[in-house]
Amino acid sequence: MTGPDERLRRRRADVARRLAHITDEIDELRGDRGAESADDEHDPEGVTLSAEWSRLEGLRAAASTELDDIDAALGRRASGTYGMCLTCERAIPVARLRVRPDATRCVDCATASDR
């Protein structure tokens, strides 16, 4: 079984790869948007470049936030506060941390904040 550091490092690498791929797609789309012949606004068969741009920007923002959350979890590991709920200061169950290694709240506090 892998420990929290390994799970966080693996997840960080996965998210970084996903973010790099999304960035490449955005760069490609940026080139397409600059093309003179890219009149997709009137193409009834496909998604517009603007819609695709919005979708990719949403994915990029989500991946960037996830990367920040993982980096914060790695910081908590280094400071010795990893696994403590930021709301009630009790220990976050290990099972939750296995599923979501960047969790900052226990299940009870996370559920209460969603209400």
Q: How far apart are CA 68 and CA 3, in angstroms?
A: 20
Q: What is the pLDDT of residue 9?
A: 95
Q: Exposed, middle or buried by CB within 10 Å (0-12, 13-18, 19+), for 59?
A: middle
Q: What is the pLDDT of residue 77?
A: 95
Token duo for residue 77:
């590991």
Do 113 and 71 belong together in one domain?
Answer: no
Do 8 and 57 belong together in one domain?
Answer: yes
Q: Which range marks the domain in which residue 58 is found? A: 1-82
pLDDT truncated to tens, each residue of the chain (115 aa)? 678 899 999 999 999 999 999 999 999 988 876 655 555 555 555 568 888 989 999 999 999 999 999 999 999 999 999 999 999 999 999 999 998 999 999 999 999 987 6
For residue 91, list its beta bridge partners. Answer: 84
Do 7 and 46 belong together in one domain?
Answer: yes
Do 15 and 35 belong together in one domain?
Answer: yes
DSSP, res 93: P
For residue 84, list its beta bridge partners. Answer: 91
Do 68 and 89 belong together in one domain?
Answer: no
Do 2 and 57 belong together in one domain?
Answer: yes
